[in-house]
Amino acid sequence: MAERNRRRIAVLIYSMVNAVLFGIGLLIVLLMPPFKAHLSPDVGQMLHYAVPGEVAEAIEEAGGLATKLHSIRQASAPYTASAA
């Protein structure tokens, strides 16, 4: 009987500690600036509905930059490998 009560108390303590640590971690994450919501007036987070053309252009531009960066890396890869 005493062993059973000890286990129940251990489970209770473990659960409480787990809940407190989870809450602290949640607060830390929610207070970090990168995880805060960036809301625009009248559209909230749904900016792509308000200005779809500009969002599409930004995505295409980012894709173009990624393609340029990839081609630069490909061009410099043999040079880097031979220098080592």
Instruction: Read off the pLDDT of residues 34-48 as tens digits, 9 standing for 90 and up.
Output: 766 667 777 777 878
Question: What sign has the CA pseudo-torsion 68, 63, 32, 50?
Answer: positive
Tokens of 45: 């987070």
Taking the domains of the chain in order of start, what are their residue ranges?
1-36, 39-84
Please state whether the predicted TM-score (pTM) of the whole model is above 0.95: no
Whether 15 shows a pLDDT value over 70: the answer reads yes
Per residue in 49-73, pLDDT (tens digit) is 888 888 888 888 888 777 777 777 7
Whether the predicted pLDDT of 78 surpasses 70 = no
